Chain A
């Protein structure tokens, strides 16, 4: 079994597409589709890398990332944020919250794959 990616995203067809390309690349993809209890999912799944959407039902990706960084067990966990907003302000917010990578939608499959590989060298 490959390393684990936790995909926190509420858009079902993005979930299916990203899961497919990562699975084909050998990653074990876990899904969580809302913001409410995303931190619980991180603690339970203990992924090697997290792909985190910014706009989620229940809680924003920025808030979830802050919770991840506040937990000493996950302070170094690689997190890539996905957002439809490419503004400098959002990029700054992601950096301040501790994101390792910020990718704006729409992205290509190759970009996602390259970014995840770079965040978790095998």
Chain B
């Protein structure tokens, strides 16, 4: 059966979708119902005037009946057959009957093509993820540790099970080794799980300095009573020094910077003053900024680092530099916020870099969750003719409920975001069509 001979199938599909009976179409096209029946079952060739008349009745171009969507379908089926080449487990697909198959069973053929496309996408996803895992030094190190421990357990257990006359001291030593390795294996597997689950886990053995910093801040609820009030600056060093969660020197440097800024903010906007301001204005940063003549970014930081009962509810805060790196990250509720340097470009956090002097407000949504986001860029160093200005964007987040205000749909990062047709998408999502 040729491509041309599938015209009948397309006529039938179009007629059925138009709600016409065969006899009605035949009458309107000026042919007999039995002739149309033969045409629709691809048993009569059709072209010229008859095809034009049928196309007119069906309100389609004759060309769309001559070359339907089957071209794409047949290409996909041929690709599926090609992917099976070389396999000897089953008979080879009957390529010479591919058009007959697509014509007689369009539903099955479409399903097969779709499954083949999905298989290919998943295969590419696995390849990319495998490649990514292979180049993650932290993960490679952790996997090596787990597999080496499993190797030691396997060898030792085999010795204990298979060696007929094993001296007592060797038995004792190997039992001890297995016990040690069993514990190491459990710890290693647990650490791997935490790493793969991706959260900044306070107990994880595999984490970046930023993860250590955020675990430390999270453990304190982002609030440090000992750093409130005058003279608190002298307490930063000891607080960092005694923080067991800050294991690396890099994490301690990051924590020192954040806490020093905390002290400066607390000095500029003391706790008792903030309590009075919030009682008067609510957690409205622009009103507080106006009354205190403090920068909005500083008010954001101060509000986000107050206890919830003082701030009047949960508040999140994200701070990023102009390269998009997340410097501070206090999420709020289950709203997925950017983690690293490849956040969703739709967040106001990045929008404020376009006009740093202009604050931006937006209502954001993810599924049923809604947030109000207030963003502003803070200038750390003014620009000059021979140097660029340095800015940091601050975005305050607070849950929003019961509002009918239209909301901007955002994700955390493209890789795990399934918003279709997003104009800001920079890379495909592993949740959609593979990588």
Contacts and interface: CB of A to CB of B under 8 A. Distances in A.
A108 B134 CA distance: 24
B170 A105 contact: no
Interface string A1-31: 0000000000101101110110010000000
B358 interface: no
Contacts of B170: 20
A90 B7 CA distance: 54
Contact of A20 (B147, B148, B159, B180): B159
Interface residues of B, number: 25
B158 interface: yes
B151 interface: yes
B40 interface: no
A5 to B, nearest CB: 15
Interface in B138-154: 140-141, 143-144, 147-154
B148 A14 contact: yes
A70 interface: no
B159 A17 contact: yes
A87 interface: yes
Contacts of B149: 11, 13
B408 interface: no
B134 A13 contact: no
A18 B158 CA distance: 11
A16 B148 contact: no
A23 to B, nearest CB: 11
Contacts of B158: 108-109
B156 interface: yes
Contact of B159 (A87, A105, A109): A109
A84 B177 contact: no
Nearest to B162: A109
Contacts of B181: 13
Contacts of A109: 155, 158-159, 162
Interface string A89-122: 1000000000000000111110010000000000
B134 A18 contact: no
Contacts of B141: 55
B148 A21 contact: no
Given A13-B181, A84-B143, A18 B155 contact: yes
B150 A13 contact: no
A77 to B, nearest CB: 24
B104 interface: no
B165 to A, nearest CB: 11
B45 interface: no
B155 A21 contact: yes
B173 interface: yes
Given A20-B159, A55-B144, A106 B150 contact: yes
Contacts of A55: 141, 144
Contacts of B144: 55, 84-85
A87 B147 contact: no
A11 B151 CA distance: 10
Contacts of A87: 134
Contacts of A108: 154-155, 158
Interface string B121-151: 0000000000000100000110110011111
Given A13-B180, A16-B173, A55-B144, A21 B159 contact: yes
The winner among B155, B159, B163 for most chain A CB atoms within 10 A is: B155
A37 B97 CA distance: 67
A51 B148 CA distance: 15
B233 to A, nearest CB: 41
Contacts of B155: 14, 17-18, 21, 107-109, 112
B152 A13 contact: yes
Contact of A11 (B143, B152, B162): B152
Closest A-B pairs by Cβ, 7 of them? A17-B155, A84-B147, A13-B152, A106-B151, A105-B151, A13-B177, A84-B144
